[in-house]
Structure 1
Amino acid sequence: MFSALSLPALRSLMLAAGVAAGALVTPHVQAFGSSSPTLQTVSSVDLQRFQGRWYQIAYYPNTFQRQCVANTTADYRLLMTGQVEVINTCGTADRGTSQVIGAARVKPPKFFGIPVAKGTDTSKLEVRFAPTFLAWLNAVWAPYWVIQLADDYRYAVISEPQQEFLWILSRTPYLDPTDRATINAKLIEQGFDLGRLVEEPQPGPWQ
């Protein structure tokens, strides 16, 4: 989710530090299985409607959410700057809470890697959880693509160009079975492996 708990954060910091990374987002160094067709996003996202709370329903497991065992949520708030504040929270095994705060922006067009204008493709966002003083570095921004979105914004599906990460989000802790069937069918069309999905306890066992 702008996504899973600290995916962009960790990955972005790794890239900024010059560490070879492969992995809640940044541009993957190509081709983990480039035989997949180019991933398509939804036509556009109304960021005003997209803000608010989302519940993680299912996701591809990753190292950035190892501490999370249940109740993972993402809260988005559109700022005056046009960026979106991102607060990801989850429950941990010791019944504590883990939280990370970051920001998202519409991906800006670049010239030789340098942003040259404000982005307009609202379905292709970039997220960072690195400190604000590093925001000028391209490496700390990671792709956050909205690849499925209900007409009334009751559910959303998030991934990135290499399809190594995937999150199914809902406005409520439980997703209607019909909606889930629709999402799954589309994911298969998009080339995702449903067998990798981990279901998220919402709410967790202690709630």
Structure 2
Amino acid sequence: MTRTLAVVTAGLSQPSSSRLLADRLAAATVAALGDAGVEVIELRDLAVDVTNNLLTGFPAPKLRAAIDAVEKADGLIVVTPVFTASYSGLFKSFFDVLDQGVLEGKPVLLGATGGTERHSLVLDLQLRPLFGYLRANPVPTGVYAASSDWGGGDALGALQKRVERAGGELAALVAGRPATGGPVQEPFVSFEQLLAGTDGQ
């Protein structure tokens, strides 16, 4: 069965460095997996629908399709630009409209872009806690790309090495899981069973 990857990128310009990084991460993951389908979700095209969903609770058809793609994907690649030392509001709002449990256990590769290297901690201080709360399974290597990383030479080569390492980690997690069609469901445990397991203490 062919695995599927959903790529969520929150770049606002077109083209954007966030989309450029997302494409490299997707290519590295597909190369490591050997075969995979990729669906790219550009949040800039869904900004109005995301806002309306927050206000009404109902997704428009294009947003519903994007949510379904994320839910059904075997692995997820997310890339956000850094605004004011954190992920963008549009990026966060998209994940706010997902149903609870959609990302549970799903392998996720975290990426971010920014003007300078000093924002690289956004991966561990902002993105990793967010996806930990959503009970996703982020790969160990996150990839941050500053403007200087795109200049060619050693900087671009070092970025590509990080991209390939992270893509390999995501591919390994995706390949090691059964193909999914939705969130992982935990078995139901009654309150009585929980109490019995504690010897009544």
TM-score with structure 1 length normalisation?
0.31
TM-score with structure 2 length normalisation?
0.32
- The structure that has the greater radius of gyration is 2
Higher helix share: 2
Q: Which has the higher contact order (CA 8 A, sep 6+)?
A: 1
